[in-house]
Amino acid sequence: MRVLQVASEAAPFAKTGGLADVVGALPGALSRLGCHVTVVIPAHREAFSSRRLPIESTGWEFDVAVGTRKQKAKIFQSHLPGRDGSPDVTVYLVGNDAYFDRPTLYGGAEDYPDNSERFIFFSRAVLELANRFEEPCDIIHSHDWQTGLVPAYQKVLASQWPRLARARTLHTIHNMAYQGVFWHWDMLLTGIDWRYFNWQQMEYFGQLNLLKTGVVFADTVSTVSPTYAREIQSAPGGCSLEGVLSARGDSLAGIVNGIDTEAWNPGNDPHLPRPYGEADVVEGKYAAKAALASRLGHVAPDPRPLIAFVGRLAEQKGIGLVFDLLERLAGSGRARFLVLGTGDPRAEDGLRRLAASYPGTIDLVIGFDEGLAHLVQGAADMLVIPSLYEPCGLTQLYALRYGTIPIVRATGGLVDTVVDATPEALADGTASGFRFSAVDGGAFAHAVERALELHADTDRWQSLVRRVMQEDWSWDSSARKYLRLYQHALASPPTPVRVP
């Protein structure tokens, strides 16, 4: 099976979030299952400046129609290294300096004003490039709003790329909050007939919506967890597209993201002072606590359980609930707290004031440091993830891998990956963390107090820790589900395009 993965970013070339991790890891896992996978991303400045992997010019150049103009696409090539005997995955980067030689991928405090044009160009360039491959694609798998036009182009302008006409398309939604909504005149840049600019296809409250376009035209739609797939089919999870998504319900799947079990492995993590596994997790975590204490300027690790938050300091991540928790429990003496992240300046300032009020109980690190994030996962006893919504979430999966018990709000992928430690779940060995449902500080604090109570019972706590470390959240598991989705799409007729 020949699979084309299309996205606006991929680790390690260019990254702003979890999308890059998915596109950087899923192709290799599919390759290990026997798929022939090719990745196409934009040739962002970051990809060249990072120099993480060699990038070479292919010498291929061609014109891409953007409205009535022609823009030049220059194609570069690199690879994602294979492992376990699997071949490298070819990565093509679509270059155009005017569009992609920029300081950031999408803009700074405000999006680039021409983001619509940039990704119209990229989406058309992908089809032009794929039509030149020696072997035609079986599956074209596009991701998020930036590539929402890819399924539409493959359907509506099929005659321009005849070698792609028989492929099936899958469009994956990583976060419904980001839809790529632009003014209606950008429809002219797409080259797609105006008749498709209607409320059932590309139009959204008088504007052009690229995520909606991908959902409507793709043969199959997926998102990053089964619970999130259900949540987005009704308000408020659907972010005003719940009707469109509900109409695709029979073709909408939810597959939990995997994690890179080589990069996130306490058994050989270079960021930990001492590797550890299930058998020596107590010793390994103590060594990590000592190293973390030293890095934070403390003489010795605190004997109290360490509760950590690692992530963006944003409302979506439940930072308001984190404030409430710290105000409720920091003075109790029952735990030590650490917050690692960056985000809303007001949240940063508020946390600084709160940490100053409890200097022996709250550690605050503003910013993000990948190595420190690994060390925190190794040192912490519990990780709090009180997200207001969470399509999938990876932090809780890293925590489970490191024997750090997650405390999560019951939403999206957090529901699908964390089993609440009720007495019944603890007894039958299915528990993996603690959950609460209400967006309420009291409910959150109660979940933390339940965790602290179990932590006081050393034998039961360590039994839980060792069990969660055995769970398989690798990309190999997720890739098998994607492969079945591809096979189902190929065995089914393509989604018909309604011609207005």
So what's the pLDDT on residue 149?
98
Q: Considering the domain delimited by 281-472, tell me its CATH architecture.
A: 3-Layer(aba) Sandwich (3.40)
Distance CA 341, CA 271 (A): 18
Q: Give the three-class secondary structure for 134.
A: coil
Distance CA 67, CA 88 (A): 36
Distance CA 225, CA 174 (A): 9
**Would you mind telling me the total number of residues written for the chain in this entry?**
500
* DSSP conformation letters of 79-124: EE---TTPPPEEEEEEE-HHHH-SSSSSBSSSB-TTHHHHHHHHHH
State the pLDDT confidence band at 498, using cuts at 50, 70 and 90.
confident
Q: Do the beta carbons of residue 53 and residue 12 sit within 8 Å?
A: yes
pTM of the model: 0.92
How, if at all, do strands 252-254 and 220-223 pair? parallel
Measure the N-to-C terminal CA separation of the chain; round to a whole number of Å. Answer: 34
Sign of CA dihedral 158, 164, 170, 173: negative
Summarised one tens digit per residue, pLDDT across range 395-414 is 999 999 999 999 999 999 99
So what's the pLDDT on residue 370?
87
User: How does 60-70 read in b/e, with b if 16+ C-beta sit within 10 Å?
Assistant: eeeebbbbeee
User: What percentage of the chain carries pLDDT values higher than 90?
Assistant: 93
Summarised one tens digit per residue, pLDDT across range 36-81 is 999 999 999 999 987 779 999 999 999 999 999 999 999 999 999 8
Distance CA 314, CA 386 (A): 11
State the pLDDT confidence band at 5, using cuts at 50, 70 and 90.
very high
State the pLDDT confidence band at 262, using cuts at 50, 70 and 90.
confident
Q: Do the beta carbons of residue 176 and residue 391 sit within 8 Å?
A: yes
State the pLDDT confidence band at 474, using cuts at 50, 70 and 90.
very high
So what's the pLDDT on residue 177?
94
Query: How large is the C-alpha radius of gyration of the chain?
Result: 23
Q: What is the mean pLDDT of residues 286-290?
A: 98
Summarised one tens digit per residue, pLDDT across range 6-43 is 999 999 999 988 899 899 999 999 999 999 999 999 99
State the pLDDT confidence band at 351, using cuts at 50, 70 and 90.
very high
Q: Do the beta carbons of residue 172 and residue 166 sit within 8 Å?
A: no
Summarised one tens digit per residue, pLDDT across range 357-384 is 999 999 999 998 889 999 999 999 999 9
Burial (0-12, 13-18, 19+ Cβ within 10 Å), 314: middle
Q: Do the beta carbons of residue 337 and residue 326 sit within 8 Å?
A: yes
State the pLDDT confidence band at 436, using cuts at 50, 70 and 90.
very high
Q: Do the beta carbons of residue 214 and residue 147 sit within 8 Å?
A: yes
Q: What is the mean pLDDT of residues 429-436?
A: 98
So what's the pLDDT on residue 499?
82
Higher pLDDT: 383 or 261? It is 383
pLDDT at 263 over 90: no
User: What percentage of the chain carries pLDDT values higher than 70?
Assistant: 100
pLDDT at 274 over 90: yes
So what's the pLDDT on residue 141?
98
Question: What is the identity of the amino acid at 112?
Answer: Y
Q: What is the mean pLDDT of residues 115-123?
A: 98
Angle at 447 between CA 446 and CA 453, to 5 degrees: 85
Sign of CA dihedral 372, 377, 381, 386: positive
Q: Do domains 2-258+477-491 and 281-472 have the same CATH topology?
A: yes
**Looking at the domain that runs over 2-258+477-491, which CATH code has it been given?**
3.40.50.2000
Average pLDDT taken over every residue of the chain: 96
Q: What is the mean pLDDT of residues 263-276?
A: 96
Summarised one tens digit per residue, pLDDT across range 149-195 is 999 999 999 999 999 999 999 999 999 999 999 999 999 999 999 99
Distance CA 213, CA 314 (A): 28
So what's the pLDDT on residue 82?
85
> What are the helix (H) ranges across 390-469?
395-401, 412-417, 423-428, 441-455, 458-468
Residue ranges of domains in the chain: 2-258+477-491, 281-472
Q: What is the mean pLDDT of residues 126-133?
A: 97
pLDDT at 83 over 90: no
